[in-house]
Structure 1
Amino acid sequence: MNEEVNTINKKIFQTLEFNKISKMLSHFTASELGKEQALELKPSTSLAEIERLQNETEDGVTILRLRGGMPIPKLHNVKPHLKRLQIGASLNGLEIAQIGRILRTTSEVSRFFETMKETGIELTTLYHLADNFITTPTLNQQIREAIEEDGHVLDDASTALRGIRTGIKRSETGIREKLDSLIRGKNAQYLTDAVVTMRNDRYVIPVKPEHRSRFGGVVHDQSSTGQTLFIEPQSVVDLNNRLRQLQIEERQEIDRILAELSNEIAPYANEIVNNMFLLGKLDFIGAKASYGKSITATRPLISEANEVSLLSARHPMLDSETVVPNDILIGGENQAVIITGPNTGGKTIILKTLGLLQLMGQSGLQLPVAEGSQMGLFTEIFADIGDEQSIEQSLSTFSSHMTNIVSILDNIDKKSLVIFDELGAGTDPQEGAALAIAILDQIGTIGSYVMVTSHYPELKAYGYNRPSTVNASMEFNVDTLSPTYRLLIGVPGRSNAFEISKRLGLSVEIIESARQLIDAESQDLNEMITDLENRRKMAETEYLEVRYHLDESEQLHADLQTAIQQFYSEREELMKKAREEANKIVEETEERADQIIKDLRKKQLQEPFGNNVKEHELIGAKSNLAQLHHEESLAKNKVLKKAKIDQSFKIGNDVQVMSFGQKGVLLEKVDKNHWVVQMGMLKMKIKENDIKLTTPEKEPTRRMTTAVRSSSTSHVSTQLDLRGERYENALADLDKYLDAALLANYPQVTIVHGKGTGALRTGVTEALKKHRSIKSFHYAPNNQGGNGATIVEFKS
């Protein structure tokens, strides 16, 4: 069965050696069925059909990569066997074995695809193809139990056959034993050789002619020299007859078994043909994948607008290790490409590569090109390549080419691809160039796509001046006097005769004389080409440099993006943890502070008359409150530790006691780690790492009203005046004052903050809202300061 829609002329297959691709593909098939489809490979002109074929190949590549290929063994075409069944004939053992192999392979391949589907391997078309298999488990078992792979009928095929073959083995054993007894001992002298052999399916012994009567029986044969007679002795004639009878019965039983199996197979003829075709199709698809792997192929994109871009393209029949890959571009703005340059530079290979890869792609094969390559969709591909001189027709090379070109021009349309090698060659250069230009104009009018090679300088100017036409050339290294086989798009080829001659030793005088002989137009053209080549090399160098920096910048940008993302993620995580820990510490600290204050208030209530809380108890409570600050330990902070060690304490220094939050003066050093500190009326022994030096205080410009004694026995005033204070200092004083007022067991106090800009008043209000021991607060009456003062009531 052939589903291809093929309208491309068959001559192009021979011109571009497409048939060699089919042969190479057939070597990767495992069965005759797949091989037949490979040899019938043809390109399609339908986009839907090409997409389907490419999808099948892509599925084959996936299976080859993930599973090493499909489990399809060597299979035979059994259509002739099935036709014989249709006319009532019976099949022999080998034919039935070949059918059984197809049925067993069908079951194995069906399970193979079911397993792949269960493992989640995605395929585009082959699951649907495998769903069309029709399995016949009962028939499979019948054939497997009766016939071996080589067609031999098994003993277990029937009870009768097993009994017959058992009888045959016993008869053969009896005959051999009888004959062995005849050829041993004194009878050996009558024989030419003491062996038992067979003639006409009967056991015989080799006897000398003069002793033929010694054993009696029947002579079945004699040697070519007449010196040996092969005699069946009379004593084994009956045994041989019995053996022969059993052999006939065996043949009859085998024929009966084969006829019975043939009758079982006949109803499944259509299913077997269906399975055989599907197996051949899968084998063919697997071969396409394996062939693609052998040439390092990739799947091309398909351009309905015929914008061909074959990147790093290689001819599939050239050694991939040595061939120079080239970017082959045609279509879009470049409807025509004219390749010029010296011979042996690889121009013809470029033409064949373009045409052959296009045929392969439209046949569903992957191509030896780089990822991202794009092929066209041509309804016809024509080529005029090589020497087609016909002796029989008495045509010259030029006539032969022109006959082919005329045929091509009669059949092309706007979706055709035309390839010309040395267009216009074989005649007068001036006339040939004119004909080439006229032919290219005609092709351009029709709208076909054309790639052509030429030596004519006129075509270089044509390619430069004509719209939708671009020059190209094969690069030539003048230093090594050899081609590089690199295709250069946009740069026409130039003659290197002068440079080559100079390097080979031709005198400068002769070369300069030759330069004078060529016309100015040719000289200008060569100079233009030289300038283009230099500009191309400069542009290529700059491109590579820019590309390098771009790649480097992109990598750096990607690294920075990753680093920034990691930074923000880590920062957010750390801040989240810090907030959680801080909230936890604040909660614990507030609870401890409340407890300290409750203890002091309890003592105050227990001794309401005269015996208020002593000064040292207040200092101790303040010390406990100060210790609630979770500052970094000096023992763990190496910088602060070093600064602490560096500072030297002396008697009389003003210091700050950190744990009490009080200032004092050093009186004496008790030991290595302790000092006696005077804090107001108290003298206490303090650890050295709990004190730090401070500058002596100047006479304060204003004293807090907390120093004014009230009518109560407490040293804390019922009013705090914050006017004139800096914002931060005022809030710190407010916090300390509220704690002192709570310790004094005041039910309410007044905070004087003034009116001013309102910033301090707002700050006081916010601080009061957050304090846990405040019941309520409000502005003072107008006669007591209005909104310049706030009255605070504490919780009882």
Structure 2
Amino acid sequence: MNPKVLKTLEYQQIKQQLAPYLVSAAGQKELNALQPQSDQAAIQLALDETNDGAEVYRLKGGIPIARLADIAPHMKRLAIGATLNGSELGQVGRVLKTTRAITRFFDDLLEDAPENEIRHLFDEVQELVTLPEVTKRLATAIEGDGHITDDASPQLSSIRSNISRTEGEIRSKMEHYTRGRDSKYLSDPIITIRNDRYVIPVKAENRSRFGGIVHDQSASGQTLFIEPQAVMALNDRLRQNQVAEKQEEQRILEELSNLISPYQDEILQNAAILGHFDFINAKARYAHDMRATEPQLSADNQVYLRQARHPLIDAKKVVANDITLGTDYQAIVITGPNTGGKTITLKTLGLLQLMGQSGLFIPVDEGSRIGIYNEIFADIGDEQSIEQNLSTFSSHMENIESFLKQIDQRSLVLVDELGAGTDPQEGAALAIAILDAIGAKGTQVVATTHYPELKAYGFNRADTVNASMEFDEETLKPTYKLLVGIPGRSNALDIAQRLGIPRSIVDQARSLTDSDSQDLNAMIADLVAKRKQVEDEQVYLKEELADSDKLHRELKSEYNAYQQRKDQLIEDAKVQANDIVEKSKTKADAIISDLRKKQLASGHSVVKENELIDAKGALNALEQQPKLKKNRILRRAKAQQDFHEGDDVLVKSYGQRGVLVQKMGQHTWEVQLGILKMKISDGDMERVKPEAEPKQARAVVRSANASHVSPNLDLRGVRYEDAMTQVDRYIDAALLAGYPSVTIVHGKGTGALREGITDYLKTNRQVKSFHFAAPNHGGNGATEVQFK
């Protein structure tokens, strides 16, 4: 990509946002070299790696990369035979230690994330070389800050022990001077060091008191730093041990440098791979924090960005837009006034393309698609150069002239305010000619403009579509929503009037405006309003559909769980039943065998009656009875359903007491309700205690309020058989409720239901008369019934 477009679209700021997520120098170096690519395989590989990083971040919180310094200079020094110092060896050791940790991490990750979910990282981690012996030796000898440990060698450990012991002896002797009666001859009762030897601060006038050597004096000359004669031998021994320590440390550094020297290439390769993992980690975390998703690649540059958001604008303020290019049209002309968001829309499209072609996830909804452009050219903003003495118009023309020579079918051109900065008529004509020239080369282009002439251009040119940024009609403020297919309208006169310009001036301006322009603006306003209505309805329908789909999935899941539970219960019941049957067969066989034995023992074929009764009782005992003894509610319910002739019952559907006359079927009884005998299901009855005082058999009359029976029965929409059943039960209920008359609404329809009801009423002995309702009460669609 040309450097100019990277600067114009602020690509460097994306890299700056990504930098804080890095922890290694190699990762930072890879970020510095990051550029958009045009090779599809390379882009897809980079996107796959970002996806792998996102999966690892989701599962494990990211790849555990430690902070790693740049070891390339150390390896160069090692290559020319130099000895690395402790800090440099510590940094190399950290690379090897991290290499071993990353290898183990991916071995563990393989159990939680199958290889088909991680596209490339499992293969790339195989390229790491662990060098376990070298890693262990460095970890033992060198700490992270470069300090050589006591375990680096037995000689070093012994020397340091001698140093510590000697220092203890020196301090012990010198404490006699700082704490005893000689302390009064000191400037301060402390022990300090000068020229790597332990000394005490002595007042100048007491110099001869302690003997020894003067190593330093204070600025005033009043204090001398003296090594007392008594500790000179100990200081000499300490100095000898310190020299031996330095020599042994240098020997260890040479040994360790020689140890890693044969593995320079492997260590450099490990550092590069770890830096690459660090970069992948950073891309994944950046995508997570930005709520970005992986874009699909379109080899034929069919761009579809769903709810695209500019990555450099605050996520709480940015407005998302759908941007489509290259499918139904190759050019978009965005018209409308300033401050509506046209420039941001251009930058969003261009910057997201650069990010996607760099292997970064982009802030769009899932299912989005980007193109693969060899070049993106952008002419956005006022690039007027005072030094070159170029006007705004001249600057834009230079930019456009430069990329007109380079564009082809795999280019994307973004032009802001095309043709601006000169005479409007000439600028509009020039803009049209430039768009035609770009289109002739098959290049995709998105351009913004103020010129109304380009609205017609968007309608008349093939593969070109108009677009605009939505304005709120009430507040006349931009909503920053992109409206594709609708040209922008000018709101200048409305805004001027709202800002306080006198109405007379605004009206005069409208009178001077071309009527065709006013008609076009009115048409645009109508299109915008209708489009907004359709989009609002679409959003509502999508939400309703999503809720319905969610409910359907939940119901389906619950139904499947219910079916599985039911099937499991049936299987369990079958197993239990088979177990009972098997036990029963075993006991029955034992009983039969016992009978045969008794028969043989009696000497004849006749078994005594009492023995047969006992055997039958044993067989009956095999029957499994439900355990109701400990459940009072179940016992009460069973008792209430245990009906016999003559029992008093409550018919629940009518709320009436009655007496059982005889059983009509397996679950049906004939019940005497007053003067009526009705066929009632046993599920609709409940056994009750007899009334305290017997009453004469007569019809029980209850109020309508008590019976809850309506004086009207509406049968419209009810099937014939169900309707006739309802009529039969309704007439009985109405008689019990004491109604003198009722109305049955059956509708007109084909007349079949009306005839059926008429035939039924003729045969019912409780019906005195019936006739169709008055015209204002339904006419022949309803029948009024009078009872005796």
What is the distance in 1 between the residues matched to 2:165 and 2:522? 100
The aligned runs of 1:123-142 (5 Å cut-off) are 123-142=118-137
1:211 to 206, 213, 217: 206
Unpaired runs of 5+ in structure 1? 1-7, 589-634, 648-653, 660-796
CA–CA distance in structure 1, aligned partners of residues 181 and 548 of structure 2:
103
Letter in 2 for 1:76: A
Letter paired with 1:96: L
Q: 1:244: how far off? A: 1.4
Is residue 222 of structure 1 aligned with residue 208 of structure 2?
Answer: no
Q: Deviations over 1:678-734 (max 9, x none)?
A: xxxxxxxxxxxxxxxxxxxxxxxxxxxxxxxxxxxxxxxxxxxxxxxxxxxxxxxxx
Instruction: Kindly indicate whether residue 19 of structure 2 is the aligned counterpart of residue 20 of structure 1.
Output: no
CA contact (8 A) 1:335 1:449 kept: yes
CA contact (8 A) 1:184 1:194 kept: yes
Q: Name the CA distance, whole Å, in 1 between partners of 2:485 and 2:521.
A: 15
Give SS of 1:419's match.
strand
Structure 2 CA distance for partners of 1:655 and 1:489, relative to 1, 3 Å: closer
Q: Which amino acid aligns with 1:82?
A: M
- Identify the residue that residue 372 of structure 1 maps to in structure 2: 367
- How far is 1:162 from its partner? 1.3
Where do residues 52-63 of structure 1 align in structure 2 (5 Å cutoff)? 52-63=45-56
Matched, 1:444 2:409: no
Amino acid at match of 1:58: N
1:735-783 deviation per Cα after TM superposition (whole angstroms, max 9, x unaligned): xxxxxxxxxxxxxxxxxxxxxxxxxxxxxxxxxxxxxxxxxxxxxxxxx
1:307 to 302, 316, 320: 302
Q: Which amino acid counterpart does residue 62 of structure 1 have in structure 2?
A: E
**Residue 154 of structure 2 corresponds to residue 159 of structure 1:** yes
CA separation of 1:240/1:496 partners in 2, compared to 1, >3 Å: closer, same or farther? same
Contact 1:346 1:485 in 2 (8 A): yes
The answer to whether the 8 A contact 1:160-1:253 is kept is yes
> C-alpha distance in 2, partners of 1:575/1:166?
80
Counterpart residue type for residue 382 of structure 1: F
- The answer to whether the 8 Å contact 1:301/1:373 transfers is yes
Partner of 1:456: 451
Q: Per the alignment, in what secondary structure is the counterpart of residue 451 of structure 1?
A: strand
Aligned to 1:279: 274
Q: Which residue of 1 aligns with 2:237?
A: 242
CA distance in 1, matches of 2:186, 2:554: 97
Note if contact 1:22-1:40 (Cα within 8 Å) is conserved in structure 2: no
Q: Structure 1 residue 658: deviation in Å?
A: 9.8
- The aligned residue for residue 539 of structure 1 is 534
Provide the rounded CA distance (Å) in 1 between the counterparts of 2:30 and 2:570.
68
For the pair 1:417 / 2:418, whether they are aligned, the reply is: no
1:150 has 2:145 as partner: yes
| Residue 69 (structure 2) aligned to one of 76, 90, 94 | 76
Q: 2:87 aligns with which of 73, 91, 94?
A: 94
Partner of 1:34: 27
In 1, the alpha carbon distance for the partners of 2:665 and 2:493 equals 96
User: Corresponding residue for 2:253?
Assistant: 258
* 1:632-683 superposed Cα distances (whole Å, 9 cap, x missing partner): xxx9798994997579xxxxxx999999xxxxxxxxxxxxxxxxxxxxxxxx
Structure 2 residue matching 1:110: 3-state secondary structure: helix
Question: Residues 433 and 459 of structure 1 are in contact (CA less than 8 Å); yes or no, is this contact kept in structure 2?
Answer: yes
Amino acid of the residue matched to residue 471 of structure 1?
N
User: Secondary structure of the residue that 1:411 maps to in structure 2?
Assistant: coil
Query: Structure 2 vs 1, CA of residues 495 and 253 (structure 1 numbering), >3 Å: closer, same or farther?
Result: same
Q: Where in structure 2 are the equivalents of 1:345-494 lying within 5 Å? A: 345-494=340-489
Contact 1:478 1:499 in 2 (8 A): no
Shift of 1:246: 1.1
Relative to structure 1, is the Cα distance of residues 574 and 155 closer, same or farther in structure 2, using a 3 angstrom cutoff? closer
> Residues 499, 642 of structure 1: CA spacing in aligned structure 2 closer, same or farther, 3 A cutoff?
farther
Aligned to 2:492: 497
Greater radius of gyration (CA): 1
- After superposition, the Cα gap between the structure-2 partners of 1:223 and 1:564, relative to the gap in structure 1 and judged at 3 Å, is closer
Secondary structure of residue in 2 paired with 1:27: helix
Matched, 1:189 2:184: yes
Q: After superposition, what is the alpha-carbon deviation per residue over 1:66-88, rounded to whole angstroms, capped at 9, x for unaligned?
A: 10111111011111111111111
Question: CA separation of 1:529/1:231 partners in 2, compared to 1, >3 Å: closer, same or farther?
Answer: same
How has the CA–CA distance of structure 1 residues 544 and 229 changed in structure 2, closer, same or farther, with 3 Å as cutoff? Answer: same
**2:776 matched residue in structure 1:** none
Are the aligned partners of 2:645 and 2:662 in contact in 1 as well (CA < 8 Å)? Answer: no
Equivalences for 1:308-327 in 2 at 5 Å? Answer: 308-327=303-322
Please give the TM-score of this superposition, normalised by the length of structure 2: 0.71
Contact 1:419 1:452 (8 Å CA) reproduced: yes
Q: Letter of the aligned partner of 2:148 in structure 1?
A: V
Show the counterpart of 1:113: 106
Q: Is the contact between residue 23 and residue 39 of structure 1 (CA under 8 Å) also seen in structure 2?
A: no
For 1:758, the equivalent position in structure 2 comes to none
What displacement does 1:241 show? 2.1
Partners of 1:657 and 1:30 in 2: CA distance: 89
Which among 221, 228, 248 is matched to residue 233 of structure 1? Answer: 228
Work out the CA distance in 2 between the residues paired with 1:656 and 1:355.
87
Deviation string for 1:278-309 (max 9, x for gaps)? Answer: 11111110110000011011111111121111
CA separation of 1:550/1:236 partners in 2, compared to 1, >3 Å: closer, same or farther?
closer
In 2, Cα distance between the equivalents of 1:149 and 1:573? 61
Structure 2 gap segments, 5+ residues each: 579-583, 585-636, 650-660, 667-788
| Residue deviations 1:321-346 (CA, integer Å, cap 9, x gap) | 22111112211122111112222222
Distance in 1 (alpha carbons) for counterparts of 2:399 and 2:664: 111
* C-alpha separation in 1, matches of 2:86 and 2:563: 77
Q: Is the 8 A contact 1:78 1:98 kept in 2?
A: yes
Superposition CA RMSD, Å: 3.5
- 1:708-747 map, 5 Å: none
Deviation at 1:183, TM superposition (A): 3.3
